[in-house]
Chain A
């Protein structure tokens, strides 16, 4: 591999060859120079290789165990780009004139935050997402798609599939969407179908109030849930 220092990260160009052969060598190189790479942010240039999300995820985890953060995966192959996007891994390094992200490791303790699964595409019929945390979708959720989350679900798009928030029993979970029209909506053990509505769809939030599942229009002024 070739290493180049770039801004506050290391740009690593992976050798040519079959990924199955290249990957172990790559990881071994990192292990050999553990002290040098510890705490580093790297961008991996993989060329036109096609890599799936599951694989990239494993790679990211393997690197994380060595205290190496996979900040970006750079590839000309659209599947790899999509897989990276699905995992929230960047596809390029930020430019110099952008805020220095060095200081953003870990969660800022002044504002408590929680982990969420972020999906940047439309979920099609038959796709499903099951997680114990929160789910954010930047795209639509088509009928026949399914989201089951232990936490909240936010859909920045049309929610027309099946959604279950607070799936482990959390009744304070909520579901928000730009267009809330799920085939079925569930929070904790409460189930409801969308009532038919008229007029232009508006952003709404669904939640449990006094034991009932309700959906209300989202108002910017609202300060409490």
Chain B
């Protein structure tokens, strides 16, 4: 098998890259694919925390690159899935400790053993970002339906295209459908209009994400989590399945839904 390297980036901070990386990693592992996630946010690591593995870190990405340990020693197996691994970032160093070619070599070493290599990019457009996209086959651009996030996503897509890693696929995260309907929040159409790249996912704002993350679990494991379902759909699309976008984005108004209930006899 030869892995596909997917980098999750955004430009803007706080839009959900780490959450997405953790959830997509679990969603893909659930389908029995072999997955390794790499935290490329040297100095501000959090993929380990969100995956609930921070207590198990002995070696990290920088130890591997600087030759203090073998690659396998830095790979932490997930608590729930034996086909899922994490290579954590270093917390006491910064982005200059790693170079783009280091990342490419590292991923080349991993390619033969995995189906997916997910790279969690830091925010920004400098070295950390360039490190994260250097090895990638596909870049997922995360954004929120919010003007400054979209502006940064546009910049990032321009940089990705300039590095010939383009065009990338878009995930719109933290959508509040009711606000979109009221016209208080950018719609999918507004965003895709500006960014002009293929859409691969729409993830609703969902409390379950925060709750799960605090427990070191992925929302994908919670059947009731809408965000979890959305991430599962994205994982399916990554694998090539054609999954229609949830009714989240349908143009039905509130009253149409009431009518649907009425016709069906009151139950959905």
Contacts and interface: CB of A to CB of B under 8 A. Distances in A.
Q: Do A and B come from one complex?
A: yes
Interface of A: 50, 79, 122, 124-127, 140, 142-144, 160
B137 to A, nearest CB: 15
Contact of A142 (B154, B159, B161, B164): B154
Nearest to A126: B155
B196 A122 contact: yes
B194 interface: yes
Among A124, A143, A160, chain B packs the most CB atoms within 10 A around the CB of A124
Q: Is the interface of A mostly helix, strand, loop or mixed?
A: loop
Contacts of A122: 196
A3 to B, nearest CB: 31
Contacts, number: 29
A91 B194 CA distance: 27
A125 B125 CA distance: 13
A125 B164 contact: no
Contacts of A142: 154, 194
A50 B196 contact: no
Contacts of B196: 122, 140
Contacts of B151: 125, 143-144
12 contacts: A50-B164, A79-B164, A124-B155, A125-B152, A125-B158, A126-B154, A126-B155, A127-B158, A140-B194, A142-B194, A143-B151, A144-B154
A125 B153 CA distance: 9
A142 B156 CA distance: 13
Interface of B: 151-152, 154-155, 157-159, 161, 164, 194, 196
Contacts of B161: 124
7 shortest interchain CB distances as A-B pairs: A124-B158, A125-B154, A125-B155, A126-B155, A124-B154, A142-B154, A126-B158
B155 to A, nearest CB: 4
Among A79, A125, A127, A142, chain B packs the most CB atoms within 10 A around the CB of A125
A50 B161 CA distance: 13
Contacts of A160: 194
Given A125-B154, A144-B155, 15 more contacts: A50-B164, A79-B164, A122-B196, A124-B155, A125-B151, A125-B152, A125-B155, A125-B158, A126-B154, A126-B158, A127-B158, A140-B196, A142-B154, A143-B154, A144-B151
A194 to B, nearest CB: 15
A79 B167 CA distance: 12
A128 to B, nearest CB: 11
Nearest to A127: B158
Contacts of A144: 151, 154-155
B157 A124 contact: yes
A148 to B, nearest CB: 18
A126 B159 contact: yes
